[in-house]
Amino acid sequence: MTVEVLAELLGWASVINIAILLLSTLGVITLRKAITGIHAKLFGLDEKDLGRAYFQYLAQYKIAIIVLNIAPYIALKIMS
């Protein structure tokens, strides 16, 4: 696998993961009541705790995208 192919792979992986992050964020924002109600019943959690859990999930997913996709992509682009 060449550097160019790996950079292209990481580029497309970044695009896909950012799209998933945006859809998740929009889903949490627009469907908050419905999602919170379902998860509160399913996991037996308070709605305030779920708000914190949603924020933590989105933050950790964003960090993972940056560390595992975007940073290696930039490094490979600099190398080539």
With 0-12 CB in 10 A as exposed, 13-18 as middle and 19+ as buried, what is 69?
Answer: buried
Find tokens 């696998």 and name the residue: 1
Predicted TM-score (pTM) of this structure: 0.87
The predicted-structure confidence for 15-69, as pLDDT tens digits, reads as follows 999 999 999 999 999 999 999 999 999 999 888 889 999 999 999 999 999 999 9
Neighbours of 49 (CB within 10 A): 13
Find tokens 């419905």 and name the residue: 34
Structure tokens at 57: 């999930």
Q: What per-residue confidence (pLDDT) applies to 40?
A: 93
